[in-house]
Chains A and B, each alone.
Chain A
Amino acid sequence: MKRALILADGEVYEGEAFGAPATKFGEIIFHTAMNGYQEIITNPIYTGQILVFTTPIIGAAGIHANRNESIKPTINGVIARSIAEVSINRQRRMNLDRFLQQYDIPGLFDIDTRKLARHLRETGPQKAAIFDYADEHAVSQLAATVLNNQQVANVSTPKAYANPGRGKHIVVIDFGLKHGILRKLSDYGVNVSILPYSASIDEVLTLDPDGIILSTGPGDPKVMPESVLTLIRVMQQKVPLYAIGLGHELFALANGAKINKMDSEHHGMNHPIEEIITGNKIFAMQGSGYTIDVDSIDKKKLLVTHIDLVDNSIQGLRHREFPAFSVQFFPDASPGPKEATNSFDDFMETVDQYIL
């Protein structure tokens, strides 16, 4: 069945439908990763967005329950050049088409995704929608739609829960937590408590954490309530703090830096990132639309630890006074290269060595 993708700037792409027969709106972005479509689709950082995969096919590895990054995917659409059929068997109990249908996510394939990516490269992300027909009604409906910018509120856990372990106690503030972070923490056998993004300082302190992780998450960090920044300012003084993705942006904001929207977003795993202190170059999964204004950093407070060698965006910060640091990229390798995972080691070492 034919369906259409309409962009706010008037571009229309007609393709074949797959997934759910739903009409959905969202900000459209493109992703250049060649593997890991399941992890990307289920990553809460893409809440409310329509994802274009530049890789020529997705779906050939099936869907595996243990590769999800959230229990319920929250994206609003998937665009691909082609999708693969796979058999359902003991190892693969689900395929991509059924998976998207189950979660009411529409998909489109057989469109010129290269043209679309090259277009989005010039325009940056924009509002878009998947419709049955690209008629005037659809165009005006898209124009009238205001996209929700409270994505964190939509995906953060509404109440605290625990993932018990016998080791140190790590509190994770959930801004749209991806499972990869919990998977990594389980490697260290730690005791984990996950709190909603709206948790108060008292709620955190009551748990007597040995360390805090500010999780990844979707959307604009500047729309987050001031209370989050206050929480960060207080907690970074008390226990080791490790911030990832949106958490990294909030950590920077809490310490006085400014955040800018990137002209051209980068979602992929092929940019080298330099760890400045060692000179090591690593690759990691990246997905961000915002970056820290390098000139706004208070150098007395924060030290830049990592930098993207392609777009020069700041990829890591460390507090000069407190045991707090952050990375913009995803160090959990789910999906993505494994060489970035050592920042978890750094954090756990800091937690182990930290004495109040």
Chain B
Amino acid sequence: MQYRNKILIIGGGANNFAKEGQMDAATYQIIEILKQKEYQVYYLDENPYSLSLEIEDITTFWKSMTVEHLKEIVINHGINYIYATSGGEHAMRLLAQLYISWREEWGEFPKVLGYSEKYLELLLNPTDMLEFLGNHKLPVIKGILINDVDDALDLIRELEFPVMIKAVNPMVETTRRLINKPDDFEENVLEVQKQSYSNEIILSEAVNGFKEFSVQVIRDSTGMNIKILISEDMEPVGVHTNDSLKVTQALTITDKAVQTMREYAFKTADLLNLAGPLHLQFAVNEDLNEIYITKVCPYIDTFSSLASLVTGYPLIEVSINAALNIPFTQIKLNDYNDKVAIMEPTLDHFAVVLPVFPFGELAAQGININRRLNTIQHSVGSAIGIGRTFIEALEKAIRSAHFNNRVFDPIFMRKISDDEMIQQLIHPEDNRVLLLVEAIRRGYTVDELSELTGIDEFYFYQLRRLYDLEKNIAYNRNDRNALLKAKKAGLSDGLIARFWNKSYLDVQKMCTQNNFECTYKAIEPTAGRYQNYIQSYYSTYEEENESYKLAEQKTAMVIGTGSFRLGDSGSAGYSIASVMLELKELGYQTILMNNTSTDVSLIPNLSDKQYIEPLEISDVMNAVAIEKPDVIVIPGNRLKLIDALEKFGMNLLILPKDKYLEDGPKKHEKEIAYNFFYDGKNSYPIALTEHKLGELNVIEDFDFSTQRLVTNRLLSPGLYQKRMIVDIDSTEIDFARLDTQMIHPTPFGQLAFLGKIFDLAFQRLTIKASLSKLTKQDYLAIQKHIYNHRYFPTLVSNKNDYHLHFSNWEEIDSAKFELGVTIKELD
């Protein structure tokens, strides 16, 4: 057998704050490229929602991500290369720990791709990284190291508040805290000290009020650097970057400041001798001529996945080529102009990113949390709106992120008292954008708002336009010009209908009568300068349309889930991606509609065409009008959309999914669920599961031949369950009672977990069943699965420090909310 290079890829691990599907999406693409280059790929991940774990012809390890497991794989399989960049911060830290603990007698350490071994240790401690850059004359904020609280308290009199503290050798990813006054100092120091393995904290000058920017660059092993994207946060430093509205362009600073950030980013990449991506975070005050690097991320993260999606630059493909020491100038790309890899992306569209907060869902479950935004991340995802103007992109982002959130109803905002208004202007909460619009409505001037919030006045002028526009629509019912302006500003038919108190169908009809047709523009990295063949689009209302129906072949449009639910975007992304893989297998060309950059379903090669759009009825119908798909796959929780599409006579294929999250087990309870697969005619038992607060198990050795529940005829094929809550100590299962329970679709997270255990890709089977394409082998696998698999790990809540992020009092079950789940092997 011919010798092949053996490469171990370290996955991203469990979902967490700022860690959704992006690592899995990057890893999937990277593994496919490595396979083409004939590497023998080994892959370790613990994420039950990982699509990459289901790639064929590679060796996968679905195990806890520990140094011990890594070591075993490296030694037992004779690994020559190791790559962690696509697994993000968690994977890189794990790699660093492995490197530090490696002993000579274990053999030669595998060659690390993309990152220099000698700088691995810097990844374990962000403070060390910043100090390293500071020592090389890059601008970082100097900190004082403190390991004794008394020492810290002695400093109080000398300090100028506000100050920033963060943990050295942190146990969790976010420890940075802003302390505004001496009274809060001791409490915060003690809390952050607990988050440090070495009980040390770094105290530094606060730069709150500075503008915050993210810069994504990439470097190859020859030293060529390319800037991919610079984005600007609407909120100044003081609100976590992932909790701020973000615009994918540096708007409110001069070119001089932009170029300075770029220069520092290139110098950092050079210093680290990178061959891959680098994301830097900056705090900028142009009036003071001060620019500081505040965060260094030499790996794939939320921002790099955003950069890749909104620029159309194939960042992941280029990253792995760079890691393999292929210079940018020699990278060959499909679907792109042959020079795209070496050109810096330049955009002719706006992308606005809005954070998605879980407060609504948590409140519905009786969990009360502090909604005030600060330096700790509260958001659990984000949604993108892309348009040709800021307003259009913003409106689309709002519709994508919060279309079902009552807090984002403009009428709801009017109930806020004036005192509350001022409080929230100064101390931002999750309803930021609508609050600012409401403040404009109440007569605050742009300069007053800018002063109160620290937000650049550019945003208020834009929001004032938005307010004027909405007023114009409300006052001009059925007016053609008002309608055109509204459509150009990104408003959906449904939203306009609400202003006019009509049905969306009336608005749609009026658009048709006036020939207001939406056009689509390509999301490509050259601003129209060169011809590219990228099939990724956003809608607008302009003259030229660039999107046409895919070639005459069977086509399927797949509607993503967006990013509007607490935590389940990871499992939903996995589900949608599985659906597309199966449709492709069945000979369909696939068209995806979705709007979150971290979703695994957005892997470029998974679909033939992508629309990055909100998922309201008019958005979907506009794309349907162009594509005329043979079938539309849609998650079952989109009831209104399903209803509308059915009325239009569309051929729908529904993925079973509940609209609302039901109550799960409380502290002294557990939930027993009987899961079965329904093929459209018959039901096949799959697994009995037991769900306690924070963990979910398959009940082993359960004999389905003795207890088979009654399962009625259901609307569509898929994985379903009957479930009941019982006392935590009960040992006997009351099947008669379980049999009387309602049937629910198995939540996507549990579906992904069970699929991994039994090696059954349930969403793929769902698609096959819906299209009557199940084979004898499929039925055999469904019926015999229980006998073939003996590996039953437990699905457990990851060590998310919810209290750190949410300041909640009630316990949060992340196994239910599907945020941050991982697996635990049985000993």
Which residues of A are interface residues toward B (Cβ below 8 A)? 30, 32-36, 38-39, 54-57, 60-61, 64, 67, 81-82, 84-87, 91, 112-115, 117-118, 121, 266, 268-272, 279-281, 283, 309-310, 333-339
Contact = CB atoms under 8 A, between A and B. Distances in A.
A32 B543 contact: no
B313 to A, nearest CB: 11
Contacts of A283: 226-227, 344
28 contacts: A35-B255, A35-B258, A36-B258, A38-B254, A54-B348, A54-B527, A56-B349, A56-B388, A56-B390, A57-B350, A57-B389, A61-B252, A67-B255, A67-B256, A81-B348, A84-B461, A85-B461, A87-B447, A114-B542, A117-B528, A118-B544, A272-B342, A281-B224, A281-B329, A310-B343, A334-B256, A335-B255, A338-B259
A133 B256 CA distance: 38
Nearest to A270: B344
B658 interface: no
A91 B347 contact: no
Contacts of B447: 87
Contact of B461 (A55, A86, A113): A86
Given A269-B344, A272-B328, A339-B266, 18 more contacts: A35-B250, A36-B254, A54-B529, A56-B347, A56-B388, A57-B389, A64-B254, A81-B389, A87-B450, A117-B348, A121-B528, A121-B530, A268-B529, A271-B343, A272-B226, A279-B222, A281-B224, A339-B263
Given A56-B347, A87-B446, A270-B346, A115 B457 contact: no
A-side binding surface: helix, strand, loop or mixed?
Answer: loop
Nearest to A264: B529
B259 A34 contact: no
Contact of A337 (B259, B287, B530): B259
A115 B545 CA distance: 9
A117 B388 CA distance: 14
Given A56-B347, A64-B254, A117-B527, A281 B542 contact: no
Nearest to A281: B224
Contacts of A91: 286-287
A114 B390 contact: no
Going nearest first, the 10 A-B pairs with the smallest beta carbon separation are A36-B255, A335-B255, A115-B544, A270-B344, A54-B527, A112-B542, A60-B251, A85-B461, A35-B255, A117-B528
B521 A114 contact: yes
A336 B343 contact: no
B346 A56 contact: no
B534 to A, nearest CB: 14
B528 A114 contact: yes
Contacts of A30: 529
A280 B458 contact: no
Contacts of B346: 32-34, 54-55, 268, 270
Given A87-B446, A112-B542, A117-B348, A272 B255 contact: no
A308 B528 CA distance: 19
B259 A114 contact: no
Contacts of B402: none
Interface in B201-238: 222-224, 226-227
B339 interface: yes
Interface string B311-348: 00000000000000000110000000001001111111
Interface in B342-363: 342-350
B347 A309 contact: no
B348 A114 contact: yes
A39 B255 contact: yes
B526 interface: yes
B811 to A, nearest CB: 45
A60 B462 CA distance: 10
B262 interface: yes
B347 A34 contact: yes
B149 to A, nearest CB: 42
Contacts of A339: 263, 266
Contact of B339 (A82, A113, A310): A310
A30 B528 CA distance: 10
Interface of B: 222-224, 226-227, 249-256, 258-260, 262-263, 266, 286-287, 328-329, 339, 342-350, 388-390, 446-447, 450, 457-458, 461-462, 521, 526-530, 542-544
A84 B348 contact: no
Contacts of B544: 112, 114-115, 118
A224 to B, nearest CB: 29
A339 B260 CA distance: 10
A61 B251 contact: yes
B347 A55 contact: yes
B79 to A, nearest CB: 32
A112 B262 contact: no
A60 B542 CA distance: 23
Contacts of B543: 112, 115
Nearest to A120: B528
A289 to B, nearest CB: 15
A186 B446 CA distance: 39
B329 A82 contact: no
Given A87-B457, A118-B544, A55 B527 contact: yes
Nearest to A84: B458
Nearest to B464: A85
A112 B527 CA distance: 12
A280 B346 CA distance: 22
Given A32-B529, A268-B529, A335 B249 contact: no
A268 to B, nearest CB: 6
A32 B348 CA distance: 8
Contacts of B286: 91
B259 A86 contact: no
A35 B247 CA distance: 14
Contacts of A333: 259
Contacts of B342: 272, 281, 309-310
B528 A270 contact: no
Nearest to B522: A114
A121 B347 contact: no
A270 B259 contact: no
B555 to A, nearest CB: 26
B457 A86 contact: yes
A84 B255 contact: no
Which residue of A34, A55, A310 has the most chain B CB atoms within 10 A of its CB atom? A34
A341 to B, nearest CB: 10
Nearest to B263: A338
Contacts of A54: 346, 348, 527-529
A34 B249 contact: yes
A60 B344 contact: no
Contact of A114 (B224, B252, B339, B527): B527
Nearest to B543: A112
Contacts of B388: 56, 81-82, 114
Contact of A272 (B256, B343, B350, B528): B343
B527 A272 contact: no
Nearest to B349: A56
Contacts of B222: 279, 281
Centre residue among B255, B287, B446 by max chain A CB count within 10 A: B255
Contacts of B347: 34, 55-56
Contacts of A87: 446-447, 450, 457
A132 B191 CA distance: 66
Contacts of B329: 272, 281, 309
A33 B543 CA distance: 23
Given A84-B251, A112-B543, A309-B342, A57 B256 contact: no
B527 A86 contact: no
A266 B250 CA distance: 22
Contacts of A121: 528-530
Nearest to B527: A54
Contacts of B349: 56
B59 to A, nearest CB: 37
